[in-house]
Amino acid sequence: MHYQRIRDLREDVDLTQRKLAEMLGMHRTTYARYESGEREVPLSFAITLAKFYNVSLDYLAGLTNNRKVE
């Protein structure tokens, strides 16, 4: 998982870690650890983020610079 992309996407939509975690039904500390790379992002959560931001999993993983879902 490309952790900087997760942070950049969140900041692009002007959300705090607290607000996003609240929207996704999780603790802020858990989300913060995903964003910092301290914890591995589970596939199910990566899918949730990809749907939330309307980006591909490949983009989240840093495999492509193309944000679009194909």
> Which residue in 28, 31, 54, 51 sits closest to 41, CA to CA?
31
- Taking CA 8 as the corner, what is the angle to CA 63 and CA 14, rounded to the nearest 5 degrees? 145
Q: Is 48 helix (H, G, I), strand (E, B) or coil?
A: helix
Spatial contact of 17 and 32, defined as CB atoms under 8 Å apart? yes
> Tens of pLDDT along 49-60?
999 999 999 999
> Tens of pLDDT along 2-49?
899 999 999 999 999 999 999 999 999 999 999 999 999 999 999 999
Superfamily of domain 3-61: lambda repressor-like DNA-binding domains (1.10.260.40)
How far is the C-alpha of 64 from the C-alpha of 40, rounded, in Å? 20
